[in-house]
Structure 1
């Protein structure tokens, strides 16, 4: 839970191509953005001392909250179908294949990109964290306790184990953080990408999880972004973000709404982070995974595909420009056709997102969600970002 670093900057990176470039781009960039419950009702309108937007941002940055526990409701509506079997096919997940680990956080946490979920979180400094996804009859948990990281799926009675000191590409600790889930993580992602492209205002007060809070409203200044506004409810006492809501420029329900329904800033019990697999539990060790699985295990969907990308523009209208590898079916993807061998559910999902476009660049297909759009051109280029279709076409024309 590091405070916001105002000197953070964006840059180009290197990525490897996964099984299906378009689904990976759509789902992965969306996950990174939420890196980016029906709206959680705030109760009351507490009378708090006046504060400026700059002072409130500084309050978030100075927040030193390292210990807390609580329950979070998160609702994500990107306009995507529920991630189930189709998601496994899209992201290259192995499902129940031999040698795979169904408890691997990289596969399970992708579910947070759609639908409504209840999370239970706890933290005690940098070396102890726990995140649990609660279902009606099961629970999935990722536990970091010192040198060990465990993930456990009660539905399948399977566990995944890794050492926290492993390299980022090999460690489950990083995987558990790849999909931002708490209001704090979501807020940090937005503040890092803001700079002079953003308008900040204080939009009154609220009560969240029984705590008095200020509401910080964040809006893009740049035209062409699909983000309408982000509202963060900030605990008046600790400066900890308690609720995060992202609404799209197109209007309608929030794309992301995540907030505490219960929160306690006292130190969690040490037993919270204890985990020992029961007799009969299938345990997969990270070091025992096949080499190909081990290589993919440290990457989120957004990092599994797409070899070397450039970032065009800045701030809210940043667009990632990538080149599909030689073996990819660029013509088929550009025309809106699913790659051969893709599962039927995944093909249906992909075809439902496509919208053919033309421009000076030639022709291609834009695959859309409520937040992220991806353009694949007939010459194998990919343009992706939280921007409008016209912004992608303009970028492709310029390229």
Structure 2
């Protein structure tokens, strides 16, 4: 079926110890470029559309956005696949170790969702998801005959890693934001975040129809109007009946494979069995208790770093520019990012920085740009950080103008 409404656009002191400063800078640059992107992508749910374009009534982009906003699916279960290609160097399974070195947090539980789910930052993964209202959700990551699950049932939040036989437990207030979802686990959450960017810098159109997981869907196409963004387009398959996003695909402005291609392969809107959300730690498993109300340490739904970390460790957060080319900036109060030669025992982190960083200069002085196919982050030698879904040139220009 041909696309609808081709131009239906919607404008809708440690200070005295330089090593401490370096650790603070490193603490944020790696989460921003790896974990932050992972948090932003794990909410997508796998892709693979069925063949054939269903014949559906015509709908405008505004009507489709309203349909998404009105969607109130409380119960579902299904299988999803997530394929992520951020253009990261091959870390050889070192993601968790890199984050531990960057944050200085070691010895935690392998079942902690905030660490385990960073695996979704690259490759293709299969998930099982289930939900029964705001107080019952389950997400299971199936990998190499092992299973990792996050289960939210009332006030209890559990993480279980069968490979290590470790359990992570935390409590949250029922009905609270943290209780609603320990991690963004549906395409709906990702779509809602994407639609927040819809303004006069955005083109939104209906791009025909598609079948996903056996269901008829409309395709919503969101594209930046501005140059300089690394985002080429976001395509969302929206269930024609319920308004629930079934598939989310983000393609980069540079072309090539999708950065994230995620969508349901199977889905049911029947009420899951109550036993789906039951969990008792296996006998002999190591159980780690998290702080009450910490939401298992999971990232915010937006994929940003926790606000409390910004407030505690950052001098401030400002935004340069607007729309798709906006750049967030903050001051770590550190000395920038050292190379492996500056860190005698840097290990994997030092090698990561050398392979990932690109030295640049500008009105801000000099610094290092850390890049993925979606996010670029500049850390200056005096500890300022600039990060955004913009090209390297646009980032350097924004940093210069921000002086």
Q: Same fold (TM over 0.5)?
A: yes
TM-score tier, shorter chain, comes to: 0.7 to 0.9
Alignment partner of 1:194 is 2:198:
yes
Once residues 353 and 145 of structure 1 are traced to their aligned partners in structure 2, the CA distance between those partners, rounded to angstroms, is: 40
- Name which of structure 1's ranges 364-373 and 35-44 shifts more when overlaid on structure 2: 35-44
CA contact (8 A) 1:109 1:176 kept: no
Alignment partner of 1:249 is 2:270:
no
Instruction: Give 1:391's aligned residue.
Output: 394
- 1:102: how far off? 1.3
* Alignment gaps of 5+ in structure 1: 1-5, 9-15, 289-293
Alignment partner of 1:203 is 2:207:
yes
CA contact (8 A) 1:38 1:257 kept: yes
- 1:63: how far off? 0.5
Once residues 97 and 369 of structure 2 are traced to their aligned partners in structure 1, the CA distance between those partners, rounded to angstroms, is: 20
Instruction: Give 1:3's aligned residue.
Output: none
Alignment partner of 1:231 is 2:235:
yes
Residue 231 of structure 1: SS of its match in structure 2?
A: strand
CA contact (8 A) 1:72 1:182 kept: no
Instruction: Give 1:77's aligned residue.
Output: 85
CA contact (8 A) 1:147 1:165 kept: yes
Once residues 98 and 197 of structure 1 are traced to their aligned partners in structure 2, the CA distance between those partners, rounded to angstroms, is: 42
Once residues 69 and 296 of structure 1 are traced to their aligned partners in structure 2, the CA distance between those partners, rounded to angstroms, is: 22
- Name which of structure 1's ranges 181-190 and 130-139 shifts more when overlaid on structure 2: 181-190
Residue 346 of structure 1: SS of its match in structure 2?
A: helix
Residue 355 of structure 1: SS of its match in structure 2?
A: strand
Equivalence map 1:269-348=2 (5 Å) = 269-287=273-291, 297=297, 302-303=305-306, 307=314, 308-325=316-333, 328-330=334-336, 332-333=337-338, 340=343, 343-348=346-351
Alignment partner of 1:373 is 2:376:
yes
Deviations 1:285-339 (A, max 9, x none): 1149xxxxx89945578345761311112221121111122xx342x54xx5576
Once residues 66 and 32 of structure 2 are traced to their aligned partners in structure 1, the CA distance between those partners, rounded to angstroms, is: 34
CA contact (8 A) 1:158 1:281 kept: yes
Once residues 383 and 287 of structure 1 are traced to their aligned partners in structure 2, the CA distance between those partners, rounded to angstroms, is: 31
CA contact (8 A) 1:187 1:241 kept: yes
- 1:41: how far off? 4.0
Deviations 1:48-107 (A, max 9, x none): 111111111111000011110001100111011456653223322799x98521111111
TM-score relative to the length of structure 2: 0.83
Instruction: Give 2:3's aligned residue.
Output: none
| Residue from 34, 56, 67 that aligns with 2:64 | 56
Q: 1:287 to 1:21 in 2, by over 3 A?
A: closer
- Name which of structure 1's ranges 147-156 and 257-266 shifts more when overlaid on structure 2: 147-156
Instruction: Give 2:117's aligned residue.
Output: 109
- Name which of structure 1's ranges 212-221 and 358-367 shifts more when overlaid on structure 2: 358-367
CA contact (8 A) 2:208 2:219 kept: yes
Once residues 142 and 269 of structure 1 are traced to their aligned partners in structure 2, the CA distance between those partners, rounded to angstroms, is: 17
Alignment partner of 1:183 is 2:165:
no
TM-score relative to the length of structure 1: 0.84
Instruction: Give 1:159's aligned residue.
Output: 167
Once residues 387 and 353 of structure 1 are traced to their aligned partners in structure 2, the CA distance between those partners, rounded to angstroms, is: 17
- 1:112: how far off? 1.1
Residue 305 of structure 2: SS of its match in structure 1?
A: helix
- 1:261: how far off? 0.2
Q: 1:167 to 1:83 in 2, by over 3 A?
A: farther
Once residues 266 and 193 of structure 1 are traced to their aligned partners in structure 2, the CA distance between those partners, rounded to angstroms, is: 32
* Alignment gaps of 5+ in structure 2: 1-9, 13-22
Once residues 348 and 124 of structure 1 are traced to their aligned partners in structure 2, the CA distance between those partners, rounded to angstroms, is: 44
CA contact (8 A) 2:46 2:262 kept: no
| Residue from 17, 22, 33 that aligns with 1:26 | 33
CA RMSD of aligned residues (A): 3.1
Once residues 302 and 201 of structure 1 are traced to their aligned partners in structure 2, the CA distance between those partners, rounded to angstroms, is: 31
Once residues 102 and 168 of structure 2 are traced to their aligned partners in structure 1, the CA distance between those partners, rounded to angstroms, is: 14
Once residues 239 and 27 of structure 2 are traced to their aligned partners in structure 1, the CA distance between those partners, rounded to angstroms, is: 42
Deviations 1:181-237 (A, max 9, x none): 421121111012222221111111110000000000000111110000000000000
